[in-house]
Structure 1
Amino acid sequence: MTNRLAIILGLLILGAVALDYAMYGSEHFIFLGRKMFVLMDWLAFWR
């Protein structure tokens, strides 16, 4: 992965989080954090 691609993906993720916060507030960030942790654990298994 090139630096340019990493920066673009990072900005997309930050933009999605900002949009989510603006539209729905911060009530479900804990749920999304837990799901992200499960996803990382699953990806680590397949590595």
Structure 2
Amino acid sequence: GYVTDIREENVVQPLLVTTSAIKLAAECVRSILKIDDIVMAVR
């Protein structure tokens, strides 16, 4: 394989995919922080 410009290759990523990935990442962070709060409260 080789590196190319995705615009030249006409590769597009739908906005829905990007926003869904960001929302999922935010939910994961929220869950991790909740777990951390629970662990710290138990100590």
Long gaps (5+) in structure 1 = 26-47
Give the Cα separation in 2 of the matches to 1:21 and 1:14.
11
Give the count of matched residue pairs: 25
User: How does the TM-score come out when normalised to structure 2?
Assistant: 0.53
The one-letter code matched in structure 2 to 1:4 is L
Higher relative contact order (CA 8 A, sep 6+): 2
**Kindly, what percent of the aligned residue pairs are identical?**
8
- Select the structure that is richer in helix: 1
Please give the alpha-carbon distance, in whole angstroms, between the structure 1 residues aligned to 2:36 and 2:17. 28
Match of 1:9 among 21, 38, 42: 21
TM-score by length of structure 1 reads 0.49
What amino acid does structure 1 have at the position aligned with 2:30? Answer: A
Kindly indicate whether residue 40 of structure 2 is the aligned counterpart of residue 19 of structure 1.
no
**Higher alpha-carbon Rg:** 2
User: What do you get for the CA RMSD once the two structures are aligned?
Assistant: 0.9
